[in-house]
Every structure is written in C-alpha cells, then in structure tokens.
C-alpha cells in the first residue's frame, strides 16, 4: 500500500478484497475452491501491518457483509475457518515469532475455530456439519456404485464393495477429532503458503522453516502411540466404545506425526546417498500408495523420536 494511505483506508480496501474473495469462493465453480485458500490473506496483511485490533474489526465487518450477501452459513464458515487464522498468522509476524511458533499458533487457532464453527452450526442453525459431510461421502459412493452398475459391473462385486463402505464410514464417525485436526492443518498450511507467496511482494517477511531433513518431534508422540494402541485393544476386546474412540484418535494422530518424522529421516538418507530428485519422488509415491510401507515409515519415525537414528548412524551430519 502507498505511504499516504491511512490504516483506515487500507483496512477498508482489504475488507473489500476479502468480501470479493468470499463471493468468488461461493459463486464461481472450481475456481472458487482455490480462491478460498486466499480468503485469510488480506486479514493477515492487515494484522501484520496494524495489529490484531484492526484485524478483528475487519473480520467483524467482513462477517456482516458476507452474511448479507451470501447468507450466515457460508459467512460463518469462511470467517471462522480462514479469517481468524489469517489474524493469528499476521499477529505472529507482527510479534516477530519464528516459523514454528507462528505455524503452531495458527494451527491452534484453526483447530479452535473448526470446533466453534461446528458448535455454532449445530446450536444456532441446527446443522450437524459432521453428519452432513459423512452423508455427502455416502452419497458419493452410492453414485459411484450406480455408475458401475449401469456400466455392467457384476452386481455381486458391487454389493461386496458396498458392504465394505459402511464400516469405513463408521470408522470416520469415530475419527471426528482427528478429521477436525486435519482440516485445521489443511487450513493452516493454505494460509501459510499463500502468505509465503504474497508477503514478500508487500514488503512483509514470513520466517522460514528449518530444512525438512532436520525436522524432529518430541518422544511424547511415541508414548501417545503406545497408549493409543493399548487403549484401542482394551476398548475393542472389552466393548468400551468411548475408550476405543479416544484411543483410536490418539493413535492415528501420533502415527501421522510419526509419518512426517519418518519422511524427514528418509530425506536424510536420500541426502546422504545423493539420491536424485526423480527417484526420491518415485519412492515417496510408492510409499504413499502402499499401506504397509506407510505404517513402516510411521513406526520408524516414532522410534526415531527416542533413538535419533540421524545422530547414531550419520554422526549428526
């Protein structure tokens, strides 16, 4: 923004941009899916320049305008799911936090915003967002099965596949906390990468993460994985549904963290043996397509939190 533009005018312009992004997100097919990731950016810029007070004021004005233009359902979802994350990231930049602190702050805010959005939709509008999403997945499978049946696929095979879908959907209903966390993580990553792209053009600096090969998580995730596995066994064998649900979520979250550290360890190995980028990508794809290899990498990553293979095998190099 130009030097002669006051914070109030700049805030008004950024609010206008945010509202336009919200309208494009709702009313423009396909393109709107990508524009949604930029929704938090104007609020992040405003907060990084002028503080959280102006950021929340702009968020409130945006919420009112979007409620009038597109309705309360989409307005609440956009402003809470993305808007507050932009303010959190901008505030972290304003306070000169490092990359890890900014990302964790934004992730915590995003997780709280996801929970608050679900509660508001349920209490105020009587909309169960989780059940609605699961129903959409169920309908998507039903449409796929109908298409296969019309294409002449054997009905017995379709019936067998349909029998496998319902247990999957039941498992998804148990993993609601994990799905909320993954949704918050997706939003945080989207806000981070869009800000990383735009901030330098506006003379704002977003810190950088350490190299991926140096990423390490504390050993507590290994203990959480062991606790989750043990609790899941007790829950399943003794019919303790609540313990099963809690343990399953703890185990899955710990395994996801272990998977990230496992890939970081693989990156060290690839660097050590000078594996080309093409071969690396092929190996990563192969691992992601194989459930056994994914579990193996995740478990290796969890064990690495305690043993530190990088230090023992490569002398810290």
Proportion of the chain above pLDDT 70, given as a percent: 91
More confident residue, 76 or 131: 76
Each residue's pLDDT tens digit, 149-201: 777 766 777 677 767 766 777 777 778 888 888 889 999 999 999 999 999 99
Confidence grade of residue 88 (pLDDT, cut at 50, 70, 90): very high
Over 60: is that where the pLDDT of 1 sits? no
Residue 316 corresponds to which tokens in the numbers above?
A: 């810290």
Q: How many CB atoms lie within 10 A of CB 295?
A: 14
Over 70: is that where the pLDDT of 5 sits? no
For the chain, the 3-state helix, strand and coil shares in percent, each to the nearest 5, are 85, 0, 15
State residue 3's pLDDT score.
55
Residue 209 corresponds to which tokens in the numbers above?
A: 């993460």
C-alpha distances in Å from residue 308, one per residue of 131, 217, 273, 304, 316: 42, 10, 18, 5, 9
Distance between CA atoms of 168 and 163, rounded to whole angstroms?
A: 9
C-alpha distances in Å from residue 101, one per residue of 66, 93, 232: 31, 10, 32
258 CB-side CA count, 13 A: 28
In order of start, what are the domains of the chain with their CATH numbers? Answer: 7-129+174-202 (1.10.1760), 212-314 (no CATH)
pTM over 0.75: yes
Over 70: is that where the pLDDT of 95 sits? yes
Confidence grade of residue 80 (pLDDT, cut at 50, 70, 90): confident
**Phi, psi (5° rounding) for residue 95?**
-85, 5
State residue 127's pLDDT score.
65
Over 80: is that where the pLDDT of 136 sits? no
Q: Is residue 259 a contact partner of residue 222, using CB atoms and an 8 Å limit?
A: no
More confident residue, 161 or 90: 90
Proportion of the chain above pLDDT 90, given as a percent: 44
Each residue's pLDDT tens digit, 33-58: 888 889 999 999 999 999 999 999 99
C-alpha distances in Å from residue 214, one per residue of 122, 152, 312: 42, 52, 14
Each residue's pLDDT tens digit, 276-286: 889 999 999 99
> Among the listed ranges 2-6, 15-19, 259-263, 274-278, which one has the minimum average pLDDT value?
2-6
* Beta-carbon contacts of residue 54 (< 8 Å; ≥ 6 apart): 7, 11, 46, 47
State residue 118's pLDDT score.
81
Q: Is residue 71 a contact partner of residue 100, using CB atoms and an 8 Å limit?
A: no
Helices 291-307 and 241-272 cross at an angle (nearest 10°) of 80
C-alpha distances in Å from residue 94, one per residue of 37, 51, 105, 205: 21, 7, 13, 10
Each residue's pLDDT tens digit, 239-274: 787 888 899 999 999 999 999 999 999 999 888 888
Over 60: is that where the pLDDT of 64 sits? yes
Radius of gyration of the chain (CA): 23
Cα of first residue to Cα of last residue in the chain, in angstroms, is 44
């Amino acid at each position: 923004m130009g030097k002669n533009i006051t914070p109030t005018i700049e805030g008004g312009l950024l609010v206008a941009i945010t509202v336009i992004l919200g309208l494009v997100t709702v009313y423009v097919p396909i393109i709107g899916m990508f524009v949604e990731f930029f929704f938090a950016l104007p609020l992040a810029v405003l907060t990084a320049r002028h503080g959280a007070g102006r950021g929340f004021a702009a968020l409130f004005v945006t919420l009112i305008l979007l409620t009038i233009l597109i309705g309360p359902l989409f307005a609440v979802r956009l402003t809470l799911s993305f808007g507050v994350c932009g303010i959190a990231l901008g505030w972290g930049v304003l306070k000169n936090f490092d990359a890890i602190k900014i990302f964790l702050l934004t992730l915590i805010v995003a997780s709280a915003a996801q929970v608050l959005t679900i509660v508001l939709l349920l209490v105020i509008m009587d909309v169960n967002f989780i059940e609605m999403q699961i129903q959409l997945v169920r309908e998507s499978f039903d449409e796929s099965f109908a298409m296969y049946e019309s294409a002449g696929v054997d009905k017995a095979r379709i019936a067998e596949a349909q029998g496998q879908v319902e247990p999957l959907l039941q498992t998804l209903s148990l993993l609601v906390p994990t799905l909320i966390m993954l949704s918050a993580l997706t939003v945080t990553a989207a806000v981070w990468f869009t800000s990383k792209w735009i901030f330098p053009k506006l003379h704002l600096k977003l810190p950088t993460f350490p190299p991926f090969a140096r990423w390490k998580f504390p050993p507590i995730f290994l203990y959480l994985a062991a606790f989750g596995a043990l609790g899941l066994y007790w829950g399943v064998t003794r019919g303790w549904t609540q313990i099963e649900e809690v343990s399953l979520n703890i185990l899955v979250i710990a395994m996801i963290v272990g998977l990230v550290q496992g890939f970081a360890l693989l990156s060290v190995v690839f660097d050590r043996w000078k594996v080309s980028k093409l071969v690396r990508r092929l190996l990563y794809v192969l691992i992601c397509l194989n459930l056994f290899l994914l579990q193996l990498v995740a478990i290796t990553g969890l064990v690495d939190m305690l043993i530190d293979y990088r230090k023992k095998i490569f002398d810290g190099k």
